[in-house]
Amino acid sequence: MPQVMNTLAAGTDTSSSVIATMLHLLAQHPEAQAQARAEVDALVASRRTQQQQQEGGDLSTGDALQLGPEDMRGALPYLSGVFTEAIRMHAPVPGINRQLDRDLHLAGGVTVPRGQVVYCPLKAFSNDASLWPQAGSFLPERHLPGHEHLLPADRAVFMPFGGGARMCPGQRLAQLQALVVVARVLRAFEFAPAPGAPPTRWIKALVHAPDHVTLTFERRRRMMSGPDEKQQQQQQQQE
Ligand code: HEM
């Protein structure tokens, strides 16, 4: 039972935090939002064609084809980059503790004795301008192949899920959840920061999360419609 409670506690606020952060960042960066949406639309179109070929039927049924976890494996690289960049800039778990099981010898002759608890500031590592090129910029592409120049020389400084034997077991699930939710939002809506809303701040608690993300959503009716529905809409407009 304690393991179940641990998993629920560790997996709830972290997941909602990263989803809210992704929506916030995509609202702030319309060009990234458009790129992520184009990727999702292309995925839906390719799945629809595949299904049509398999079933030989007419699938002109609007957005009946729902994206699920099975669609996400490697299929949305840019949106995966948005996920990784969101947890780089706003790490939901800002740091972890470790108790040393042996003396730790640091450069400069400093020794931290065995038994001491040391804090690893994960969030500080992933925002350190001396380690990351353009550390303050939202650049989902830095996590895609061919953009290694935007990553730190030592990749070990990026550990949003911790490391070693106690590393987060929910890493894969967290990414899948976030991709499914945000892909569906992108498919259905265009969104932007709500005019006049106060700036978003990150609550500094055990889990870092935005205090609020206030957005306006516009439904994408035309894009969501299949050919039959589009025809109906056109007929209604003519009448
Ligand atoms: C973006 C989302 C998430 C982030 C950033 C995150 C991050 C972390 C970090 C940094 C740790 C500490 C690892 C360490 O000490 O080395 C951890 C532990 C843990 N996480 Fe996550 N996590 C996320 C989502 C989830 C989800 C979805 C679940 C489960 C459904 C989960 C379950 C756990 C559990 C059970 C532990 C404790 C592992 C242990 O102590 O052995 N996490 N997580």
pLDDT of the chain, 239 residues: tens digit per residue: 556 666 666 667 899 999 999 999 999 999 999 999 999 999 998 887 777 777 654 444 445 446 666 666 678 999 999 999 999 999 999 999 999 999 999 999 999 999 999 999 999 999 999 999 999 999 999 999 999 999 999 999 999 999 999 999 999 999 999 999 999 999 999 999 999 999 999 998 889 999 999 999 999 975 555 544 455 455 545 54
Instruction: State the Rg of the chain over Cα.
Output: 22
- Minimum-distance ligand 1 atom for the alpha carbon of 175: 1
Q: Look up residue 214 and give its DSSP letter.
A: -
CA of 162 to the centre of ligand 1 (A): 8
What confidence score (pLDDT) does residue 37 get?
Answer: 97
- Minimum-distance ligand 1 atom for the alpha carbon of 6: 35
What confidence score (pLDDT) does residue 235 get?
Answer: 54
Distance between terminal CA atoms of the chain? Answer: 62
What confidence score (pLDDT) does residue 56 get?
Answer: 57
- Minimum-distance ligand 1 atom for the alpha carbon of 3: 35
Q: Look up residue 200 and give its DSSP letter.
A: P
* Residue found under tokens 């960066």: 29
- Minimum-distance ligand 1 atom for the alpha carbon of 173: 27
Could you give phi then psi for residue 118, rounded to 5 degrees? -115, 150
Pocket of ligand 1 (CB under 6 A): 6-7, 10-11, 14-15, 18, 87, 92-93, 96, 160-164, 166-170, 173-174
CA of 165 to the centre of ligand 1 (A): 12
Distance CA(19)–CA(113), nearest Å, equals: 40
CA of 235 to the centre of ligand 1 (A): 52
- 105-122 pLDDT, tens digit each: 999 999 999 999 999 999
CA of 16 to the centre of ligand 1 (A): 13
Token code pair at residue 93: 């778990």
Domains in the chain, please, with CATH?
2-93+123-238 (1.10.630.10)
What confidence score (pLDDT) does residue 76 get?
Answer: 93
* Residue found under tokens 């778990």: 93
Four-point Cα dihedral 201, 204, 208, 209, nearest 10: -30
Instruction: Using alpha carbons, list the distances in angstroms from residue 239 to 84, 222, 234, 236.
Output: 49, 18, 9, 5
- 148-167 pLDDT, tens digit each: 999 999 999 999 999 999 99
* Candidate from 168, 172, 207 with most ligand 1 atoms within 8 A of CB, to mutate: 168
**Sign (positive or negative) of CA dihedral 222, 224, 228, 232:** negative
The answer to whether the beta carbons of residues 28 and 85 sit under 8 Å apart is no
What confidence score (pLDDT) does residue 206 get?
Answer: 86
State the CB neighbour count (10 A cutoff) for residue 209.
20
The answer to whether the beta carbons of residues 121 and 93 sit under 8 Å apart is no
